[in-house]
Structure 1
Amino acid sequence: MHIVPPSSSNTFQQSWITSGRILFLIAVSGLGAIGLVVLSALWAGAESDSAALDRQRQLVNARLLEQVDQVAHVIGQFGSGYLTRVYPAARSSGRSSSLDALLTAAAASGISHTAMSAFGYDQAFVVDENARLLMLADAKTEKRYRWMKPLFLPLLQDAKLAVNQDTASTDPTPSAIAGHLSSTARPNRAFANLMRLEGRPTIVGVVAINEAPEGQPQTMRQFLIVVRFIDGPALDELSRQQGLNGARFARTADADENEVAFQINATANGEPIGFIVWRPDLPGSRVIGRLMPALSIAALVIAMLFSVLLVRLRSSLGELKKSELHARQLALHDVLTELPNRALFAMRFEECLADPRNSTERSAVALLDLDRFKAVNDTFGHAAGDELIRMATQRIRALLRPGDTLARLGGDEFAVLLRDLKEDQHLPAICEAIVAELGKPFPLLGGEAVARIGASIGVTVVPDTGRNADDIMRYADVALYEAKMGGRGQWRVYSPSMDGGRNARDILKHELREVLARGAASPAGASQSDPPANRPDFGSLEVYYQTVHRAKPGYSVSGAEALVRWRHSHRGLLTPASFIPAAEEGGLIDALGFWVLREACRAACGWPEDTFVAVNVSPAQLRRPNFAEEVITVLQESGLPPSRLELELTESSLIEDNLDVYTVLKSLRSQGVQISLDDFGTGFSCLSHLVRFDIDRIKIDRSFVSQLGTKANGAAIIGAIVALSRNLGISTTAEGIETEYQRDFLAALGCTDLQGYLFSKPVPLGELDCFQKAKNGDELFPIVPSANA
């Protein structure tokens, strides 16, 4: 045992005491200074919080008043617009009855529905001046109105008095009224008040919606009453705009200690109708919250000096352990998603195959590939691509069972190991769920961009296809290839016939190459000479045309879209979906595209001069450096003016190689060629494309048109696209119109052109009766009969 000499012990003890005193003095001084700083910060933070809270209350009050004014303004315009449209129509029809007689119960219901669907009101009623309900309504709506009616009466009385005053102040002579209505609507005052309805804070607006014809007395006023509750989506919008954290509505001021309550008063009598409660944004408290950890750390530094060696030792051991765990994580997991990587997936798959308990259990391996992922990277950058990979991982993982394995093999490729498939329906259900989930939009970069990608899945089942890991993975890859060739956004289970499918695709590419080498085809309707004896006959290509119609009375023909068909000698008439993928894979899309362009330009030369022909252009064609020169050459050879040619591009065409595509399109537009953007809103929509590439026309996808009358979102999306196009001076064509309701709605909404089976299916050139009649002088641009007729 080593004994410390007494002198040394005393010296050490004295030194320790001295050091302790010095440390104590330093600690006390430091704590005192920190205490003063803390007190000063608390006082400054409290003052800042008080000022911020007052400002938030002022903003909330101003916003509520603004919403009331907005409701009055919107329904005022609605009422004026309704009178402006309906009054001249009644006057021109020669009716002597007043307009309030024109407003039937069904029409009143239509006005109510329009107010709710188009302007987002929670409830709308059409009543007479005695507050009687005029519109068709179910029992629930009538009961609801009876409860609300007594509260509507004061506001309805104010609106009736205001309209009568306006009527009295207007020149009663028929000529004066007629001249006023021809230029602008008559004064139509609207009122809106804050009040409590059904125990909820509500904005109620009233506006007159009928007017007697010129020279006739007003028999009965009719009014539109709209209701917007401000404790639901409206409160959420207010919360987002004003930054009100956790905003909610309460009937009493039941705010917690971390919340504030703002009283809402009724407009008419100033009585309280409720409170908006939220957690206020207090900058002073936030700053103090950020400062306190630092101050606390500073106060603990003195104490930590005495235990620094122990902390250091423990920290070193902890870092060593973390480093070991991290190394193992990197070896077997993907860095971006933290999923198992290819090596770990292979290990688990081998374990699954080697486990004797699984010798008879059904398992499955699915290879998953994200569609159009490269376009997201090229458009929005690798940061967005990484974010998309992480979001896709989360969506897939949420659909799997705890015992399933999801791995990232690299890039946008994933693998899924599904063990113990006891139910035959589980595999289809999970594959369909993954395809559906990945087909939904992905908000990227904090909501600044939205990507739609989709996924393709190839599946192989164990032990149906054997128990060799390499063969199973190859079979899954073959099934994945089939899913992609089938149009993407699909899933396929491997079958031995798929190996022969590749040979079938090679045969189809060879036959198409022979058709194009033979001059492709003759124009639709023309005879074709027999092929040479040494070359087989695989049929001919034809161009079909689907007419486009102006969205004006009469719906005259404005042009037609060229669509290629392959009349195969053995397979029959093939649509583009059957052979376009083979053309792209075999490098034949350029030759096919220019053949269609030449035939369409030649055909359009025989059409009336104010019509156009639209031709689809693939991304591969746009990437050709001399694409613009080739198009101009085709126009010169056919004699078709450039202004009558419209090239239809997909949004994916603008995503890749932006600079080259921009140069090509700029050259074409300088010659007068029109450019349209097909299927707008279904791909990687970017508003900058509309301006940067100087687009002339937007084609609204049929998926939005089909929702009209069934989903409110369809009308909202189409309305937004049409409004955007109108502001940018861009034409709009709505595709897929199959009903008269869709036609009339889109025309009223402001679409410039319409296209769909209601007017005509794609037909050969010889069956375009509308153009033939125009050339014969019978009728200029008659409507093509409906395909259903």
Structure 2
Amino acid sequence: MIGLPLLRPALKWTSSGALLTLIAIGGVVTIGLVLASAIWASRESDLAALDRQRELSNTRLSTQIERVAHELDLMAEGYASSISTVDETNVSPQDGKGFSHLIKSIFGYDQVFVIDGDGKLALETDAEIASRYDWAKPLLLPLLTRLRQQDEPLPVVELMRLEGRPSIAGIKAITLGSQPVAPTNRLYLIAYRYIDGPALDAFSREQGLNGARFARAADPDIEEVTFEIRATSTGEPIGFIIWTPDLPGSRVVSRLLPALAASALIIASLLAMLMLLLKKSMSELTDSEQKARRQSLHDALTDLPNRILFGRRLTDCLEDQRLNVTRSVVALIDLDKFKAVNDTFGHGAGDELLTAVADHIRALLGPNDTLARLGGDEFALLLPDRAKTDRSHLELFQRIITSLNAPFPLLDGKVTATIGCSIGATSLTSARQTTSEVLHLADIALYEAKSTGRNRCVEYSARLDSSAQMRAELKSELQTLLSTGGTDPQSEFGLEVFFQTIHCTAPGHAVSGAEALVRWRHETHGLLTPDKFITLAEDSGMIHELGMVVLERACAAATGWDSTQFVSVNVSPLQLRRPDYVDAVVKVLEQTGLAAERLELELTETALLDADEAVVSDTLARLRNAGIKIALDDFGTGYSSLSHLVRFGIDRIKIDRSFVKLLGSRADGAAVVSAIVALSHSLNLSTTAEGVETEGQRDFLVAAGCNDLQGFLLSKPVPNPDMGVVDEAATDLRSSGLSIA
């Protein structure tokens, strides 16, 4: 046992030696990778350079062939014009004497012949030239054969070996006069040029081929490369161009070697320094591990426990349930309107808001309570060791809601954000529960709090299970119903579209349009209003199908109304995100025959906040370009309403019923409504007041200059509304764009 105290240092030094070994191996591997990368890069660069030089060589040969063809045309025409007296049927072989010498001196060809249709020399020449022609004749006459086989009198030019040297040879028919001549009576010009010697020197200078030379066999030195020249007709090798290539990659590597050696020395020096600093590094490493362990269990932004640590503490509370003395409460807190702050003021403001929310809630908690951030704008709260009869947690939740309703100054007080929160809570009732089960129950309660108005707390009860089950059943039934177009083919149950008429404020209050409101006539639950199933459709991705069913039926019904009356249909924010939404709406208008200017799509400010601004702007612009009107519903209850009016090109604003309800009961209600109407007039927008239930409200709105009225005083939502007859005077005023007071 005496040696045990010495064991820990020994282990530390052993691990340190292993660490140094790993670092040394890492350094060697790094240098090896750098060197291998440099060699690989240099080889790739060299290969690319070689490919480019070979490609240039091939291009040069092709260019030379084209040049010979062009020069043959010129030489043939020159020969034809040099003959002073031409008998188109019998050409004298003495015509054009000295032409061969002239061509060779001007165009630089090694030999030029003029032959007849039988392949014999047509010009008198000396014995040496005749002998050279006789030697080359078997190789040149196939050119004459291929020339005669052509439909057009184009030169035939090929690469071949002549007199043991690579050459470019070509033949061209000489046209004398305008009368057709038999092939056997025609004259032909043959010329060839060697591509080694002076031609190769010029080629080497132009293409940058260092020390280029010609060889019959591929016998390059170690540092040389070859380019094979093949005969055009047979494809057989006729020689090789050999040169010393320019290899830029190899030059770079040679220059990098000193730097790599210096890097190796530096790494070795660093390893020696690490040996001296190892003891200090070990203690710093221990501190770093502790810090990393804390960071792995805490949220980096708010420094609150994260999901992992919250789960551990919740597990501990579940184990304590076996004592059955106290209970614990778990709550999920979801911020309302957080996305609006993030989108409007930026992520910096959103992060600042999350930190402030964490501070507000933490200030209300006890020392044993745990507040955690699960992600995004969702927080979790664990309240342990609560008496079974203690209900103080509900008071705590209410204080949290009240605290988060207060304005939050952000960005050094430049902006102020007002949000809220929804809370779902549950109590730990059994040690047999799992953390996921507990969080699921709290999530059910949170869903209920959000779906029933937000900014409130709901505690889980068995009743919510039945609500959750009902939602699941309704979701399944709605999916089946939408697959049949919204109608149950075996019964009278299904989706129905009710209409609430909208009346103009002119005397008589004639009907100017109607808003389409969907209902679900359910076999078990009766007539369901949208609040019972719209959220289900949005959560399950069925909202587009549901919205299109309502749109189709509303447009079809409106075709039977007066042509001056419009129909208004609500739009979900999820629909606006679809790239095909505009096309789908236009298709419905085409199928039903409803004019685009008679359709008004209503969207809430929430829809604008929940969707990408660029996508919404593009979608609304395309809808308005198609002639469709856009209305902003529940105006004044959302976030940054004025900016929405300017950015998204709204045609109509609908004054929320909460403001209309204040008319006659509070003076500030009249001020708010008057301000909204005045704003709409200044922006040349139409206004519709919702929730008109009393004659006093109606009379005030008429006097204020509102364009249209909607509410139970005038009509309730019904399946087949009485659209009446539109007052002509009111129609004339509305069509002129003026408000009717």
Q: TM-score, normalised by structure 2?
A: 0.54
Amino acid at match of 1:518: T
Check whether the contact 1:465–1:472 (CA below 8 A) recurs between aligned residues.
no
C-alpha displacement of 1:425: 4.0
Structure 2 residue 459 is matched with structure 1 residue 504:
no
**C-alpha offsets along residues 633-662 of structure 1, whole Å, 9 cap, x if unaligned?**
222222222111110012232232222222
Q: Residue deviations 1:383-405, cap 9 Å, x none? A: 12112213333443454455533
- 755-764 or 438-447, which moves further after superposition? 438-447
Letter in 1 for 2:500: Q
Does 2:563 match 1:609? Answer: yes
Pairing 1:477–2:443 present:
yes
- For 2:484, the equivalent position in structure 1 comes to 518
- 1:497 shift after superposition: 5.8
Report SS of the residue matched to 1:732. strand
Alignment of 1:419-568 (within 5 A): 419-422=384-387, 424-435=390-401, 437-438=403-404, 442=408, 444-445=410-411, 453-463=419-429, 468-486=434-452, 488-496=454-462, 498=464, 501-521=467-487, 531=489, 537=491, 539-568=493-522
Return the letter of the residue paired with 1:360: V
- What are structure 1's unaligned runs of at least 5 residues? 1-318, 522-529, 782-789
Residues 624 and 341 of structure 1, relative CA distance in 2, 3 Å threshold: closer
Aligned mates of 1:680, 1:544 — CA distance in 2:
23
Residue 416 (structure 1) aligns with: 381
Equivalent of 1:336 in 301, 304, 313: 301
Native 8 Å contact 2:318 2:430 kept in 1:
no
Structure 1 equivalent of residue 627 of structure 2: 672
Per-residue deviation, 1:331 = 5.2
Does the CA contact (< 8 Å) of 1:366 and 1:415 recur in 2? yes
2:273 aligns to what?
none
Helix, strand or coil for the counterpart of 2:508?
coil
2:362 matched to 1:404?
Answer: no
Contact 2:326 2:386 in 1 (8 A): yes
Structure 2 match to 1:751: 706
2:578 to 607, 615, 624: 624
SS at match of 1:646: strand
> CA deviation digits over 1:545-595, x for unaligned, max 9?
112222344333222111000111222101011111221222221111111
Q: How far has the Cα of 1:763 moved from its partner?
A: 1.4
Q: Distance in 2 between matches of 1:624 and 1:324?
A: 47
Q: Secondary structure at the match of 1:609?
A: coil
Residue among 390, 396, 400 paired with 2:355: 390
Kindly report which structure 2 residues correspond to 1:86-485, keeping only aligned pairs within 5 A, or say none: 330=295, 332-350=297-315, 352-353=317-318, 359-401=324-366, 403-422=368-387, 424-435=390-401, 437-438=403-404, 442=408, 444-445=410-411, 453-463=419-429, 468-485=434-451
Match of 1:735 in 2: 690
Q: Amino acid of the residue matched to residue 553 of structure 2? A: E
User: For 1:684, what is the secondary structure of its paired residue?
Assistant: coil
Q: Whole-Å Cα distance in 2 between the matches of residues 421 and 739 of structure 1?
A: 51
Q: Indicate the SS of the match to 1:414.
A: strand
Which deviates the most, 381-390 or 459-468? 459-468
Secondary structure class of the residue paired with 1:429: helix
Aligned partner of 2:536 in structure 1 is: 582
Residue 514 to residue 538, structure 1, CA distance change in 2 (3 Å): farther
Conserved 8 A contact 1:557-1:611: yes
CA distance in 2, matches of 1:402, 1:703: 42
1:322: Cα distance to partner?
11
Partner SS for 2:579:
coil
Q: Which has the larger radius of gyration?
A: 2
Letter of the 2:489 counterpart: P
**For residues 511 and 705 of structure 1, do their structure 2 counterparts lie closer, same or farther at Cα, with a shift above 3 Å needed?**
same
Deviations 1:408-466 (A, max 9, x none): 22221111122444555423333344345545665554666665554332211133685
Deviation at 1:493, TM superposition (A): 2.5
Aligned pair count reads 447
Residues 360 and 463 of structure 1 are in contact (CA less than 8 Å); yes or no, is this contact kept in structure 2? no
Q: 1:449 to 1:538 in 2, by over 3 A?
A: farther
The residue identity in structure 1 corresponding to 2:350 is G
Report the CA distance between 1:361 and its aligned residue.
1.9
- 1:368–1:455: 8 Å Cα contact kept in structure 2? yes
The whole-number CA distance in structure 2 between the counterparts of 1:717 and 1:662 is 28
Write the distance in 1 (CA, Å) between the matches of 2:577 and 2:504: 33
* Corresponding residue of 2:643: 688
Q: What SS does structure 1 have at the residue aligned with 2:700?
A: helix
| CA gap 1:467/1:516 in 2 versus in 1, 3 angstroms | closer
Instruction: Look up the SS of the partner of 1:566 in the other structure.
Output: strand
Q: Where in structure 1 do 4 or more consecutive aligned residues deviate above 6 Å?
A: 319-329
| Equivalent residue, structure 2, for 1:22 | none
CA contact (8 A) 2:598 2:628 kept: yes
Tell me the alpha carbon deviations over residues 122-169 of structure 1, each in whole angstroms, 9 at most, x when there is no partner.
xxxxxxxxxxxxxxxxxxxxxxxxxxxxxxxxxxxxxxxxxxxxxxxx
| Structure 2 CA distance for aligned equivalents of residues 486 and 463 of structure 1 | 26
- Aligned position for 1:639: 593
Contact 1:515-1:539 within 8 A present in 2 as well: no
Q: What is the percentage of aligned positions where both structures have the same residue?
A: 55
Aligned letter for 1:428?
L
Retained in 2: the 8 A contact 1:452–1:682?
no
Give the superposed CA RMSD.
3.6
What residue identity is the alignment partner of 1:650?
A: T
Q: Is the 8 A contact 2:320 2:431 kept in 1?
A: no
Check 1:430–1:518 CA distance in 2 against 1; reply closer, same or farther (3 A cut): same
What displacement does 1:338 show? 3.3
Whichever residue aligns with residue 526 of structure 2, its letter is: G
1:763 aligned counterpart, secondary structure: coil
CA distance in 2, matches of 1:448, 1:749: 35
Counterparts in 2 of 1:466 and 1:424: CA distance versus 1, 3 Å:
farther
Aligned counterparts of 1:399 and 1:492: Cα–Cα separation in 2: 19
Cα distance in 2 for partners of 1:390, 1:544 equals 46
1:555 alignment partner AA: H
* CA separation of 1:559 and 1:639: change in aligned 2, threshold 3 A: same
Describe the SS at the equivalent of 1:608.
Answer: coil
Task: Indicate if the aligned counterparts of 1:558 and 1:610 stay in contact, CA closer than 8 A.
Answer: yes
Counterpart residue type for residue 757 of structure 1: F
Is the contact made by 1:697 and 1:733 (CA closer than 8 Å) also made in structure 2? yes
Structure 2 CA distance for aligned equivalents of residues 715 and 447 of structure 1: 31
CA change 1:344–1:632 in 2 (3 A) is closer
The residue type equivalent to 1:362 in the other structure is R
* Change beyond 3 A, Cα 1:567–1:780: farther
2:603 alignment counterpart: 649
* SS in structure 1 at match of 2:533: helix
The offset of 1:481, in angstroms, is: 3.9
User: What secondary structure does 1:458 align onto?
Assistant: strand
Tell me which residue corresponds to 2:9: none
State the secondary structure of the residue aligned to 1:409.
strand
Partner of 1:697: 652
Q: Distance in 1 between matches of 2:517 and 2:648?
A: 24
> Given the superposition, is the C-alpha separation of residues 557 and 509 from structure 1 closer, same or farther in structure 2, using an over 3 Å criterion?
same
